[in-house]
Amino acid sequence: MKNHIGFNGILHDSKTEAKASHPLAKLGFYASAKKFSQRFNDSDGTSFGAYDDFFNAKYSVHLEWKDCKLNGVKTKASSLKQLADKAAWRNAPNTAKENIDFGWNQAWRKQSIVQTALTPDRFIVCFSKAPPFEEALTYIKAGIVFCTLSSLPSYLAYLHLSQRGLAVGFNLNYTLTDEATGETHPAGFTYGSAVEAPPPKPKATRKAKAAQ
């Protein structure tokens, strides 16, 4: 039930989404909840629809807001079964935690499917804060391009330049520190069409000039 008031008096499904609507509005993202016209398919071939949370009209990019860990549910049918089993066992509606742990909308596989179809230039997953390393690594391996609220301006800067035909990229990096050894292990990704500039042409020598 939408009962959390956010930017411009708009009602949101969650308190965190309503809170995020204020800084997101400063970046041009406004509450949307728009259903995409196209359908998507999970690994079982089951068709499903999807909605966004916010939309930035300037860059035509949809934003999926997340304030918690994405779950590992494999398919929509699996999600529905697990939620139904939990509700039946307790003889009560699913709790908020159960929806987070087993809901299809909270599954990283779903986000990967939707983003792959729409491309990260049109659909970005944005976390309230950086996910822990192991979580981030799961998303990176799944090919999900994501950002955090603090890195969202950098992502928009990438879109601004990319949509003007420049070869640029968006970078997000993570570092894991091994508590036992103290060693650090970098991880992250670069998204975009960034390319190296062509090497400069060699300067003509004095002998070569004389021969011309």
How are beta strands 4-5 and 169-177 bridged, if at all? Answer: unpaired
Q: How far apart are CA 48 and CA 201, in angstroms?
A: 53
Q: Cβ(62)–Cβ(118) under 8 Å?
A: yes
**Tokens 């709790």 label which residue?**
95
**Tokens 């659909």 label which residue?**
123
Along the chain (212 residues), what's the average pLDDT of each consecutive run of 10 residues?
77 87 96 93 96 96 96 97 94 92 97 97 95 89 94 96 92 78 82 55 48 44
What is the pLDDT at residue 194?
52
Q: How far apart are CA 162 and CA 142, in angstroms?
A: 23
What is the pLDDT at residue 65?
96
What is the pLDDT at residue 177?
72
Q: What is the dihedral of CA 194, 200, 201, 206, to 10 degrees?
A: 180
Q: How far apart are CA 63 and CA 32, in angstroms?
A: 9
What is the pLDDT at residue 196?
42
What is the pLDDT at residue 74?
97
List of E strands, the chain: 4-5, 11-12, 29-31, 40-41, 47-48, 54-56, 61-66, 123-127, 146-148, 169-177, 184-192
- How crowded is the C-beta side of 65, counted as CA atoms within 13 Å? 24
The span from the first CA to the last CA of the chain, in angstroms, equals 80
What is the pLDDT at residue 192?
84
Planar angle of CA 143, 100, 142, nearest 5 degrees: 10
